[in-house]
Amino acid sequence: MFFRIPAYFCKKTLVLKKAFPIIIPCLLFFSCVKIDVFEKNITIPGHSWETNFKPSIEFEITDTVQLYNIYVVLRHADAYRYKNIWLNIGIQPPGEPLQKSRFDLPLATDEKGWMGKGMDDIFEHRIPLYQQTPLKKGKYVFQLENVMREDPLEHVMNVGIRVEKVRQ
């Protein structure tokens, strides 16, 4: 007995055979595109950030032609009681002293609630500090300090820095 393959199946197979040589290289190319990002997060002991705990984060810049975006990354539980967080952020560029600045970083609004991305009762915020900033070559040090009135600041899980190249 002779088995016949339906015509519509043959046409779909023919299309796939022709598209396959194009699809695979595209998938390989886009999966290998390097995203230039540095991110480091520090776990807050016991999810209770004491004012004397000041995590430091170091990273190296080699490309001085590129502009960078710098973010604070913060994870907290839904039980966090405030709509913002006050941080002193120290930045020490290569060969220079530590320069501190105070930031009032918004985390929620009355209308929309938490502004970060959430999963269950954990929320992550990527809050821009500096956009399209030139950086010089060398090692940078960031120091993150909680300056909220509550000490320790409960329900903060992680804090960190994210640096990424601006895509042009």
| Two tokens, residue 59 | 């990273």
The domain made up of 37-165 has a fold known as Jelly Rolls (2.60.120)
Domain boundaries, the chain: 37-165
pLDDT category, 33, cuts 50, 70, 90? very low
Task: Write the DSSP assignment of 17-46 as a string of letters.
Answer: HHHHHHHHHHHHHHHHPPP-EEEEEEEPGG
Question: Is the confidence at residue 52, as pLDDT, over 70?
Answer: yes
* Band (130; pLDDT cuts 50, 70, 90): very high
Phi-psi region of 120 (alpha: psi -120 to 50; beta: other; left: phi over 0): left
Per mean pLDDT, which range of 6-10, 87-91, 123-127 is the poorest? 6-10
Give the model's pLDDT for residue 37.
83
pLDDT class of 85 with cuts at 50, 70, 90: very high
Give how far Cα 122 sits from Cα of 77, 79, 83, 135, Å.
Answer: 5, 9, 15, 32
Q: Given this model, what pLDDT does residue 135 score?
A: 93
**How far apart are alpha carbons 75 and 81 in whole angstroms?**
13
Q: What is the DSSP letter of 50?
A: -
pTM of the predicted protein model: 0.76
**Which pLDDT belongs to residue 82?**
96
